[in-house]
Amino acid sequence: MRMLWWQNIPLFLIVAPLMGAVVCSALKEKAARGVMTALSALTVCGMALVLAFTAARQESCVYPMGEVGAPFGNELRFGAVEGIAGLGFSLVILLSVLGGWRSLTRDVPENKRHLYAAMVCLLTAAMSAMVFTNDLFTAYVFIEITTIASCALISATDHGRTLFGAARYMLMNLLGSGLFLLGVSTLYCLTGHLLFPQLQESVKDLLDRDKYLTPLYLSFVLMTLGIAIKSALYPFHTWLPNAYASTTPTSSALLSSLISKMYIFLLIKIFFRAAGAQVFDRDIRNFLLGFAVAGMVLGSVDAIVERHLSRMVAYSSVAQIGYIFLGISLGTEAGMAAALFHMLVHAAAKCMLFLSAGKLREVSGMGDGFRDVRGAGFRAPLAGAAFAAGACSLVGVPLLGGFPSKIYLAQAGIALGGWRMGVVLAALAVSTALHVMYMLRTAVLLYAGDGDARRPEKSPLRKDPCFTAAMLALLGLNVLLGIGSRPIMEAILQGIALFS
Amino acid sequence: MKKKADPFRALKSWIENGDDALDLEIQEEMDDEATPALTEEAGRKREKKKRDPVRARRRLEGGYAVAAVLVCLALIGALVYAALQLPAFGGADTLVDSEVSAFYVENTLKETGAVNIVTGIILDYRGFDTLGESHVLFIAVCTVLLLLSIRGDKNADRIAREEAFDRHFEPRDDEVLQGAARILTPLVLVFGLYIIANGHLSPGGGFSGGAILGAGLILYQNAFGYRKTERFFTYRTFKWVSLASLLFYSLAKGYHFFTGANHLENGISPGTAGNILSGGLLLPLNFVVGCVVACTMYALYTMFRKGDF
């Protein structure tokens, strides 16, 4: 079968950023920044093209990496779901790099910024590869790249606290990678395959013959556990606040909106493409549901107790990751679609929250305790508005992304019926109430007082057109997800039909 | 009592006045509650409570350690239990029907020209993984540069300190080391090149050969110091060799993937199996991987030692 021209795009979306990263590492700061921004913009365009073509043709394609395809060589696979996820992820990269670079020039020393740009390029490549790959081991290789890159992104800010956070992050994430690798090798030992379609066949065969069930289940448990640790599902989230809150805003935005979501997307692929419905049965799902609900509630409780802006936003990530796992754990197509949609919503909102929190900190004398940022909304109007909008979106105020996504999650729960419906609805209600308590409280706090109390003498708020543009784009994105949720959801559902 | 009628009082005053006010309110509330019942016993209880946090924390940490050990033991138990149930290595029912390994054994020599099948698999059939893997090395060295490099650092003190520190520990003109290095370094380097060049014919290849090359460079540097190494290996060398190698790797593999997927003629022939100049792209790919690995090894060494080349 001859490839159509656009089917080559994913290959270039992986190879071009890899080469860009190498080039960036040899350039000076300005040129490296240009290369990085151009590549992220190109990735956005490429992802949009992939999405447009796959959605229009309503099919998913397989792209062999070399002359020999599956099951002997590597393979890429892409359809509407991959297109949507990739588009969302690449937008996050572009906007957080645009919006946060000014703060980054303050946090990262000049002789290291070109390396930071290289890291962002590598992250872009790893994102494309993880979204498109149809091969378990390739996914692991790019997990490695992502892990190292994210450690570098955190520790680029040269403070003691950041390094502490980065070290903790690294230890926990390496543990996650190790567990994942153990799972992959156990599975390979049982099936002799690494590509998803063949894996699914062999797993089905093993289940039918009733052989090696313990190691088989264990391998999936290990992979799930590894990814749960790396994406900060509730009891494994202790590395998160220090890592997210102590570094430069771009890094926080990338870590929370991109990196943890990439891992979850991979987990969805593993569940639905490699394991198949039989392995991912009721018990595992109920187990995951328990963790998800715990995260939704207890993550919010942690956030309520917190007294620092960026640490609070970081803890709210734990709750939001709980939402996504809730959707996955329902095990239905509607649940998975809701999880994917919530992934996009959370990425858009969290990126905006972290970037604006960085700006609010800047106008409050570099402190982001609640007492420093009182009235900061008056000192930095756009950042304040963006923070308020992001907070409202996560709470679930209509017209913003969080509202439809909560409705979809609830609908998926209701369709399931039984006690799980009750659990889903109760968890959503409690978590939303808790979100109101800390998110809206903080949004109000930003507009308390007259705002002049802590205005720094020399205003650091120079004109920053990139930040303005990124914030406006993110605001637009959140509203788009809020009012245009139906076509997006339809595209996701269509893609899911072709997914497994 | 009247004060308590408004449950949001604390919140409101905190929004208006900030954290200090909240602390004050909470203190007041606690006093309100405590005052009526402040008998002697309650007073003692309160004192106990005040000391408690430290002890409670210690108890928590102890419990945490015990729980961690238990979780680890449980995980080990589960893993060992599952590993015992894995198919025996080389057993009768161990993947005899694995079409993948059969395909590799049958076709690797014919299609890629690699006598060493492993090289054929990692650089050809699963070349995408290896492309990622070689960038793992690159990203590792970039991260170390980001953390430890003092090149271009504005802080003159830090540079001076690192220099002084390094001079203190550097072996100065150690005759035994220099004599050994004078003999060993050329041998090590040639051996590394040999392993890289024969990667597609015999065990070895870019990764192992590159590690040997890197070790040779480190040995020379250790014996003769920065001044002499700088004659042939500086930061610029490192930068340009890594850049050229990785770009060539990505371009070559990109071309290979592109032509392969589109079923185009790629003009690369596997050549006569067994010759040094055979195996199509395998030899140049092994060579660039070797360069990347050698540069990475040496860069990691210098970064951890002084933070500069």
Provide the residue type at B102 as one letter. A
How confident is the model at residue A354, as a pLDDT? 93
Q: Which residue has the higher pLDDT, A140 or B174?
A: A140
Instruction: Answer yes or no: is B105 within a domain.
Output: no
- Domain boundary residue among B40, B58, B83? B83
Same domain, yes or no: B161 and B61: no
Q: Could A22 and B247 be called an inter-chain contact, meaning their C-beta atoms sit closer than 8 Å?
A: yes
| Chain B environment of A11 (Cβ under 8 Å) | 254, 257-258, 261
Closest CA relative to residue A134, chosen from A46, A207, A73: A73
B190 near A CB under 8 A: no
| Chain B environment of A119 (Cβ under 8 Å) | 139, 142-143, 146
d(CA A200, CA A187): 11
Same domain, yes or no: A363 and A479: yes
How confident is the model at residue B157, as a pLDDT? 81
Least CB-CB distance to B146: which of A115, A141, A214? A115
Q: Which residue has the higher pLDDT, B1 or B229?
A: B229
d(CA A185, CA A174): 16
Q: Could B129 and A138 be called an inter-chain contact, meaning their C-beta atoms sit closer than 8 Å?
A: yes
Q: Could B240 and A26 be called an inter-chain contact, meaning their C-beta atoms sit closer than 8 Å?
A: yes
How confident is the model at residue B26, as a pLDDT? 45
Give residue for tokens 């290990």: A222
- Which residues 217-246 on chain B approach chain A with CB closer than 8 angstroms? 239-240, 242-243, 246
| Chain A environment of B256 (Cβ under 8 Å) | 66
Q: Looking at CA atoms only, how far is residue A75 from chain B in angstroms? A: 9
Same domain, yes or no: B160 and B56: no
Determine which of B61, B110, B128, B155 to mutate to test the interface with A (most A C-beta atoms within 10 Å).
B128
Same domain, yes or no: A358 and A270: no
Same domain, yes or no: B65 and B144: no
Same domain, yes or no: A360 and A226: no
Same domain, yes or no: B260 and B187: yes
- Domain boundary residue among B83, B106, B125? B83
Same domain, yes or no: B155 and B204: yes
Closest CA relative to residue A153, chosen from B132, B138, B300, B143: B143
Same domain, yes or no: A137 and A286: no
User: Radius of gyration (Cα) for chain B, nearest Å?
Assistant: 32
Parallel, antiparallel or unpaired: strands A61-64 and A75-78: antiparallel
Same domain, yes or no: A286 and A335: yes
Give residue for tokens 């570098």: A152
Q: Could A214 and B81 be called an inter-chain contact, meaning their C-beta atoms sit closer than 8 Å?
A: yes
Same domain, yes or no: B139 and B283: yes
Instruction: Answer yes or no: is B242 within a domain.
Output: yes
How confident is the model at residue B34, as a pLDDT? 43
| Chain B environment of A145 (Cβ under 8 Å) | 132, 135-136, 139
Q: Could B19 and A370 be called an inter-chain contact, meaning their C-beta atoms sit closer than 8 Å?
A: yes
- Other CB atoms within 10 Å distance of the CB of residue B56: 11
Give the pLDDT confidence of B17-69 residue by residue, as tens digits: 544 444 444 444 444 444 444 445 555 555 555 557 778 888 888 888 899 89
ipTM: 0.89
Q: What pTM, to 2 d.p., does this model score?
A: 0.88
How confident is the model at residue A264, as a pLDDT? 93
| Chain A environment of B20 (Cβ under 8 Å) | 371
Number of domains chain A contains: 2
- Domain boundary residue among A274, A307, A327? A274
Which segments in chain A show pLDDT lower than 50?
none
What tokens does A183 get?
A: 């799972």
Provide the residue type at A301 as one letter. V
Same domain, yes or no: B163 and B295: yes
A28 near B CB under 8 A: no
Same domain, yes or no: A257 and A366: no
What DSSP string runs through chain B?
-GGGG-TTHHHHHHHHH-HHHHHHHHHHHHHHHHGGG--HHHHHHHHHHHHHHHHHHHHHHHHHHHHHHHHHHHHHHHHHHHHHTSPPTT-TTSSTT-HHHHHHHHHHHHHH--SSHHHHIIIIITHHHHHHHHHHHHHHHHHHHHHH--TT-S-HHHHHHHHHHHHHHS--S-HHHHHHHHHHHHHHHHHHHHHHHTTTTSS--HHHHHHHHHHHHHHHHHHHHHHHHTTT--HHHHHHHHHHHHHHHHHHHHHHHHHHHTT--------STTSSS-STTHHHHHHHHHHHHHHHHHHHHHHHHTS--
How confident is the model at residue B38, as a pLDDT? 45
| Average per-residue pLDDT for chain B | 80
Same domain, yes or no: A341 and A232: no
d(CA A416, CA A335): 9
- Which residues 86-115 on chain B approach chain A with CB closer than 8 angstroms? 86-87, 95, 98-101, 103-104, 111
Instruction: Answer yes or no: is B109 within a domain.
Output: no
Q: Could A145 and B139 be called an inter-chain contact, meaning their C-beta atoms sit closer than 8 Å?
A: yes
With contact defined as beta carbons under 8 Å apart, do A89 and A127 qualify?
A: yes
How confident is the model at residue B92, as a pLDDT? 59
Same domain, yes or no: A263 and A296: no
Task: Provide the sign of the torsion angle of the four alpha carbons B12, B15, B20, B26, taken in this order.
Answer: positive
Give residue for tokens 């245009």: A484
Same domain, yes or no: A290 and A182: no
- Domain boundary residue among B83, B108, B140? B83
Instruction: Answer yes or no: is B287 within a domain.
Output: yes
Domain that holds residue A289: 281-500
- Which residues 158-197 on chain A approach chain B with CB closer than 8 angstroms? 182, 186, 189-190, 192-193
Same domain, yes or no: A293 and A424: yes
Confidence of residue B97 (pLDDT cuts 50, 70, 90): low
Same domain, yes or no: A3 and A151: yes
Instruction: Answer yes or no: is B94 within a domain.
Output: no
Same domain, yes or no: B125 and B235: yes
How confident is the model at residue B91, as a pLDDT? 63
Instruction: Answer yes or no: is B226 within a domain.
Output: yes
Alpha carbon B263 to its chain's center? 36
Q: Looking at CA atoms only, how far is residue A130 from chain B in angstroms? A: 11
- Domain boundary residue among A239, A274, A309? A274
Same domain, yes or no: B163 and B288: yes
Confidence of residue B4 (pLDDT cuts 50, 70, 90): very low
Same domain, yes or no: B194 and B67: no
- Domain boundary residue among A250, A274, A298? A274
Planar angle of CA A353, A354, A356, nearest 5 degrees: 65
Q: Could B15 and A151 be called an inter-chain contact, meaning their C-beta atoms sit closer than 8 Å?
A: no
Same domain, yes or no: B26 and B126: no
Instruction: Answer yes or no: is B213 within a domain.
Output: yes
Domain that holds residue B225: 116-305
Same domain, yes or no: B21 and B120: no
Number of domains chain B contains: 2
Give the pLDDT confidence of B239-289 residue by residue, as tens digits: 999 999 999 999 999 998 898 888 888 777 777 777 777 777 888 999 999
Q: Looking at CA atoms only, how far is residue A485 from chain B in angstroms? A: 35
B143 near A CB under 8 A: yes
Nearest CA in chain B to A308: B19
d(CA A125, CA A145): 9
Closest CA relative to residue B237, chosen from A200, B123, B245: B245
- Which residues 197-256 on chain A approach chain B with CB closer than 8 angstroms? 212, 214-215, 218
Q: Tell me the β-bridge partners of A77.
A: A62
Closest CA relative to residue B135, chosen from A125, A412, A232, A383: A125
Report, as an integer, the average pLDDT of B82-108.
Answer: 75
How confident is the model at residue B122, as a pLDDT? 86
Give residue for tokens 């992979």: A223
